[in-house]
Amino acid sequence: MNRRKFIQSIGTGFVASAAIDQTLALDLKRVPKQSRVIIVGAGFGGLTTAKYLRIYSEEKIEVILIDPTSSFISNPLSNLVFSGQLSLQQLIFSRENVCKKYGIQLVKDSVSKIDPESRKVKLASGSTLMYDRLVLSPGVSLMLEQLPSLAGEKNPDALVHAIQAGSQTTLLKKQLEAMPNGGLFAISVPLAPYRCPPAPYERACQVALYFQKFKPRNKILILDANQDVTSKSALFKKTWANSFPGMIEYRNNHTLMDINLKENELIFEVQDEIKADVLNVIPMMRAGNIAHENSLTNINQRWCGVDFETYESNVIPRIHVIGDAIQGGDLMPKSAQIAYGQGKACAMSVTKLILQNELNLKPHYNSLCYSFLTSSTAAHVSTDHIYDEQRKTMAVIQGSQEISTQGSTEDYQNAMNWATNIWKDILS
C-alpha cells in the first residue's frame, strides 16, 4: 500500500494490512469464556491493539488497557510547538470515547510487577489482575546511567530531552523563549537506534523558524553521536543551508559522556566541552521500564526480541511486545506508524491464539514518516514491510521504498492529513 492510499484509507478500517484482514476467518463461538487480554501502555501501539482486539473478536475478548497518564499526547507533530505552528493542547486527546465505544476497560495506573507463571500483573495501586495474554506497548526508557552526573537526580526535568510530548515540550519551549538574542541552542543526538530517527533534525528546523522570527542572531548546534544524520540526511542538510543559512551547524561523531548541569556544559568522549544557553540532551534509550525490569530485553539488554508473526516475546510465553520497545526488522524505525501497524498485527494474532485457530498470518504494514522542514514544506520516507517466513522477521518489500528529494507543500499537507486520520482511527 503506497503512502497516498494509506492516508486516504486510514480512517476507514482498511488499515496497515489488507492481507491480515482478509485472512480473518474466526469461529467466535469457540472463544473461551472470560478470555482476558491486558494491554500495558495506551499510546499508538496499545490503543490500536485494544480497539482491534475488540473488533476482531466481535467484543468476545475482554480487554483491559492500563496507562498512568490522563490523556493521549501525540509525539508526532510536537516539534511544531517550538515554531508556534501548533499548540501543545492541539496534540492532547481523551481516550474515553474509543474505550466506551468498544467496551475497553481503561485503568489509570501503572504495572509494578509481572508474574508470568501465574499470569498476573500487580498494579502500583496494589491491585492484582489476571490475564490470558499480556501485551506490552511501553515505549522507551532513558538510559540516564550513561550520564554519571545524573545518578541519583530526583528532578525529572533536570534533563530536557522532550522525546515524550507533554511537560517536557512546554519546558523546552519556555527555555527557548527565555534565551537572549545571540544565544546558542545545542541538541545532543544519541547513537541509533532511538525513538523517531529524524526528530532531532526536524526539531532543529522548527526551532530555527522561531529564532528567525524572534531571535535572528541565535545559533543552533547539532552534536550527533552518529556518523551522519540518521534519516533524510541530504534533504535536512540542504534545508539547513538554504532555509536557515548560517544558523544551524551540524557536527558528527560527538559521543556524549556526561553533562554539567550547573555550567550548561556537554562533555564528550573526544572533543572539547561545549557550553550553550539551552541544552536539549536526547540520551540513549532502551525498551520501557516494565519490559526491562521483567527480563524481556534479551537483545543487548536494551530491546525486546519477538516472533514477528505473533509479536510474542522470545523470552516469556503469552507476553507480546510491540512498538518502540522491540528490536525491529529491516529499515524499521521506532515510530508511531510502525507501532500502529504492529498493534493491528498483534491484535489479529492474539485473537487467533486465544481461539486456538491455526495462525496462517503474514503481517504486512507500512512505515511512513514525515518531517516538517519549514512553515510550509515537509518530506517523507516510506517503506512497505511483510513477514518473511524463512528469515522469521519483517522484510522490506522490494521496490517499496520512497524518500523525498526535496521538501514540498504537498508533503506538508499529507503529513497533516496523516496525523488527523491516524488520531481519528485510534481514538474514535
- Encoded amino acid at 428, one letter: S
Give the H or E element holding residue 7: helix 3-9
pLDDT tens digits, residue range 187-238? Answer: 999 999 999 999 999 999 999 999 999 999 999 999 999 999 999 999 999 9
Angle, CA 116 vertex, CA 111 and CA 118 arms, to 5°:
105
Grid coordinates representing 154 are 530526583
pLDDT tens digits, residue range 239-270? Answer: 999 999 999 999 999 999 999 999 999 999 99
Given pLDDT bands bounded at 50, 70 and 90, which one contains residue 6?
Answer: low
Query: What percent of the chain is modeled with pLDDT above 70?
Result: 92
Question: How confident is the model over 289-299, as a mean pLDDT?
Answer: 97
DSSP state of 190: P
Given pLDDT bands bounded at 50, 70 and 90, which one contains residue 348?
Answer: very high
Length of the chain: 428
Using the predicted structure, report yes or no on whether residue 12 has a pLDDT greater than 80: no
pLDDT tens digits, residue range 22-66? Answer: 334 444 455 456 699 999 999 999 999 999 999 999 999 999 999
- What is the maximum span of the chain, computed from C-alpha positions, in angstroms? 69
Grid coordinates representing 197 are 530517527
Q: What is the pLDDT of residue 361?
A: 84
Angle, CA 398 vertex, CA 48 and CA 226 arms, to 5°:
75
pLDDT tens digits, residue range 94-107? Answer: 999 999 999 999 99
Q: What is the pLDDT of residue 355?
A: 84
Q: What is the pLDDT of residue 373?
A: 98
Q: How far apart are CA 129 and CA 38, in angstroms?
A: 8
As a whole number of Å, the end-to-end CA separation of the chain is: 23
Q: What does residue 72 show for φ and ψ, rounded to 5 degrees? A: -85, 130
Q: How far apart are CA 274 and CA 74, in angstroms?
A: 32
Q: What is the pLDDT of residue 2?
A: 54
Residue 152, classed as helix, strand or coil, is coil
Question: How confident is the model over 170-175, as a mean pLDDT?
Answer: 98
pLDDT tens digits, residue range 314-325? Answer: 999 999 999 999
In the numeric block, the cell 530485553 is attached to 297
Question: How confident is the model over 285-297, as a mean pLDDT?
Answer: 97
Instruction: Report the phi/psi class of residue 274: left, alpha or beta, with left for phi > 0 and alpha for psi in -120 to 50.
Output: beta
CA distances from 225 to 30, 187, 263, 271 (A): 53, 11, 21, 11
Domains delineated in the chain: 3-14+26-142+286-427 (3.50.50.60), 146-283 (3.50.50.60)
Q: What is the pLDDT of residue 259?
A: 96
Q: Which residues contact 3 (CB under 8 A, 6 or more apart)?
A: 366, 368, 380, 382, 402, 414
Query: What percent of the chain is modeled with pLDDT above 90?
Result: 87
